[in-house]
Amino acid sequence: MNFPTPLIPARLIRRYKRFLADCTLDDGREVTAHCANPGSMMGLAEPGSKIWLEPNDDPKKKLKFGWRLVDHENGHFTGVDTSVPNRALRATLETREIPELAAYETVRAEVKYGEKSRIDFLLTQPGLPDAYVEVKSVTLSRQPGLAEFPDSVTARGTKHLNELASMVKQGHRAIMLYLVQRTDCDRFALAADIDPAYAAAFDAAHKNGVERLIYATQISPNGITVDTSRTLQPE
């Protein structure tokens, strides 16, 4: 998935109110960008960090910039926009590039299920059980090479795991797909110290048949794509 508008570099001044970030552009201008990330963004919102913004001229948008990437200035990037994984993954599912899900031809997004929830993707194919795919964006890394989820307590994430387990009981497939929006990690773990309820819910769901997939991404200021050749090993 290429960014529709070329990104521009900036330096982070501060992130606040979860969805706002003050930044300094290379020409010295200070702007406020939309931060499409409800999590804590632990380790990714340090003042002075190099970041990449996507400008827009949409008159319906109050903010004219969106924060898309953190540039670690060592050749690695982290994608901070939590809406990106679903957009990138949809294209990959439709071209049937995820080996574990390649048998499914029909891909539908945001389908109602469970208790007032929507599944990220519902995959269907005649002769196969329906596949319910929930996607989580992974951006936390507290140890070199180790990606972790979640970066804050997520009651919503726990609810989704319970609903996925319910789909398995009804005879469907249910997949928890973690998409790691970092290029500097090759391992994955649940951050049980941050949200023990989520970790416990995952263990229970996994024992009851919920599948786990962990895929890496390729990230640059040009775009973010699912790296279907690289899965991360869970710890």
Domain 84-234 has CATH 3.30.43.10: no
Q: What is the pTM of this model?
A: 0.94
Region 8-79: CATH code: 2.40.50.580
pLDDT at 116: 83
DSSP 155-198: HHHHHHHHHHHHHHHTT-EEEEEEEE-BSSEEEEEE-TTT-HHH
CATH 2.40.50.580 domain locations along the chain: 8-79
Q: Residue 201: which H helix or E strand, with range? A: helix 196-207
pLDDT tens figures, 96-146: 999 999 999 999 999 999 888 999 999 999 999 999 999 999 999 999 999
Q: What is the pLDDT of residue 61?
A: 86
pLDDT of 58: 85
- Give, for 81, the enclosing helix (H) or strand (E): none
Q: Distance from CA of residue 76 to its chain's centroid? A: 17
**Token pair 């819910």 in the structure block, residue:** 201
**Tokens 């936390």 sit at which residue?**
140
d(CA 129, CA 124): 7
Provide the H-helix boundaries in 19-136: 84-94
The closest of 113, 115, 179 to 123, measured between CA atoms, is 113
Tokens describing residue 5: 């508008």
Separation of alpha carbons 35 and 82, rounded Å: 9
Gap between the Cα atoms of 128 and 189, Å rounded: 30
Segments of the chain scoring below 70 in pLDDT: none
State the pLDDT at residue 138: 97
Q: What is the pLDDT of residue 188?
A: 98
Q: Write out the residue limits of the CATH 3.40.1350.60 domain(s) in the chain.
A: 84-234
Q: How far apart are the first and last CA of the chain?
A: 29
